[in-house]
Amino acid sequence: MTYFLLRRLALMIFTIFFTSLIVFGLTQLLPGDIARLFLGRDASDAAIAEFNQTFRLNDHPLQQYVRWIIGDVTQVEGDHSRGILRGDWGRSFSAGYPRVQPLISRALQYSMMLTGFTLLISIPISILLGVFAGIRANSWLDNLIAIFSLSVVGLPEFVTALVLINTFALRLGWFDAISTPHANDGWFTIIQKLTLPALTATFVLLGYVTRMTRAGVQEELKKAYIRTAILKGLPRRVVLFKHVLRNALLPSVTVIALSIGWLMGGLVVIEQVYNYPGLGKLMVDAVLSKNYPVLQACVMIVITFIVLSNFLADLLYALLNPKVRYQS
């Protein structure tokens, strides 16, 4: 198990490092001058020079990368860069050149709230529907669950979001159409604002987890040890929860763990429709405003969560299936 964890951890660190090279390199490969792209064609030479000096864009790309990662020991106009490994993501291109870190921290907090609430809704519903479909294979209930899960997962996210807004916000008035939680909101208000975006994301996950759970339950029910347990007179409830689900949920656990990375940064459309201030919306705003330091930070955060979710999936699979630990 120790070798398995060390191997996966080393692979995770290498992946994040290699990705940081790609993210930084793509910024350097942008055509034209970054200062000119951000300030516009009508910017004066003095403004361009000041911008390049502020962000030290005239340095060699390798120097810029090292400073971005581990910081710089030199002082530049009283501004000491510590690098992203120590929590300093540099300065934003927006007015006043504020630090990127507060922007990322705020968006990350909102994304984690939405991710947690989505998993809280989607996991029980998906597993429950998958179990019912699995133990009632080829029945009307199985067909109904299959039609429902495949229908909702096939709908584009913005269509699902607009239907939910029109139904539950505009017509019934149960929720707000704009889901932007504020610091002074109570828990009930926050949950109310998170519900519609979380339901929209839940519909995307529902089909995958439900079908994986159904397939796992069906496969386990066909195995000899399950038939033996039933013939011995064990209650069906004990056979289902103690024997079937332990192995049947292995693929579902992997899908759920891998979904964390997507939920943290892949809800771009959902966050735009609901005006939700998460990482996805921050990335879109950074692209539209050509704010490359913020975009780099957002991409690195999302990639880190994707890599961590893959590591979590491997870890959970190894804990639930000892064969993985011994064969790896």
pLDDT band at 76 (very low <50, low <70, confident <90, very high): very low
Q: 128 and 267 share a domain? A: yes
For residue 7, tell me if it sits in a domain. no
How is 300-322 classified by DSSP, letter by letter? HHHHHHHHHHHHHHHHHHHHH-H
Q: 113 and 259 share a domain? A: yes
What gap in Å lies between CA 233 and CA 237, rounded to an integer? Answer: 11
Helix ranges restricted to H, 136-222 = 140-154, 157-164, 187-221
| Cα–Cα distance list, 255 to 26, 39, 107, 119, 121 (Å) | 30, 43, 24, 12, 15
User: Which CATH number does the domain housing residue 221 bear?
Assistant: 1.10.3720.10
Q: 77 and 132 share a domain? A: no
Angle, CA of 315, 321 and 324, to the nearest 5°: 70
Q: 240 and 124 share a domain? A: yes
For residue 3, tell me if it sits in a domain. no
Q: Which of 11-20, 125-134, 151-160 has the lowest mean pLDDT?
A: 151-160
Which residue, among 303, 212, 301, 306, has the nearest Cα to 259 in the 3D structure?
A: 306
Here the tokens at position 294 are 């913020």
pLDDT band at 296 (very low <50, low <70, confident <90, very high): confident
Per residue in 40-61, pLDDT (tens digit) is 777 777 888 888 877 777 778 8
pLDDT band at 156 (very low <50, low <70, confident <90, very high): confident
pLDDT band at 120 (very low <50, low <70, confident <90, very high): very high
Q: 141 and 288 share a domain? A: yes
Q: 185 and 285 share a domain? A: yes
CA 215 to chain CA centroid, nearest Å? 25
- Asked if residue 74 has pLDDT above 70, the reply is no
Q: 117 and 159 share a domain? A: yes
Q: 88 and 130 share a domain? A: no
Query: Is residue 217 a contact partner of residue 244, using CB atoms and an 8 Å limit?
Result: yes
Residues forming beta bridges with residue 99, ordered by sequence position: 91
Q: 194 and 160 share a domain? A: yes
pLDDT (mean) for 143-166: 84
pLDDT (mean) for 205-217: 85
* Boundary (domain end) residue, out of 51, 76, 100: 100
Q: 88 and 107 share a domain? A: no
For residue 228, tell me if it sits in a domain. yes
For residue 181, tell me if it sits in a domain. yes
Q: Which residues of 134-148 are buried (b: 16+ CB within 10 A; e: fewer)?
A: bbbeeeeebeebbee
* Boundary (domain end) residue, out of 100, 133, 164: 100
Q: 251 and 145 share a domain? A: yes
What gap in Å lies between CA 305 and CA 180, rounded to an integer? Answer: 23
Per residue in 219-273, pLDDT (tens digit) is 887 778 777 877 777 777 777 777 777 777 777 887 888 788 788 877 888 888 8
Q: Give the torsion sign (CA, 146, 212, 280, 24).
A: negative
Quote the domain boundaries for residue 27.
12-100
* Boundary (domain end) residue, out of 100, 131, 158: 100
pLDDT (mean) for 2-11: 79
For residue 6, tell me if it sits in a domain. no
pLDDT band at 80 (very low <50, low <70, confident <90, very high): low
- Asked if residue 78 has pLDDT above 50, the reply is no
pLDDT (mean) for 87-110: 82
Q: 89 and 236 share a domain? A: no
This prediction has a pTM of: 0.81
How many distinct structural domains can be found in the chain? 2
Per residue in 175-208, pLDDT (tens digit) is 877 777 776 777 888 888 888 999 998 888 888 8
For residue 1, tell me if it sits in a domain. no
For residue 158, tell me if it sits in a domain. yes
Q: Which of 104-108, 142-146, 291-295, 320-324 has the lowest mean pLDDT?
A: 320-324
For residue 138, tell me if it sits in a domain. yes
- Asked if residue 145 has pLDDT above 70, the reply is yes
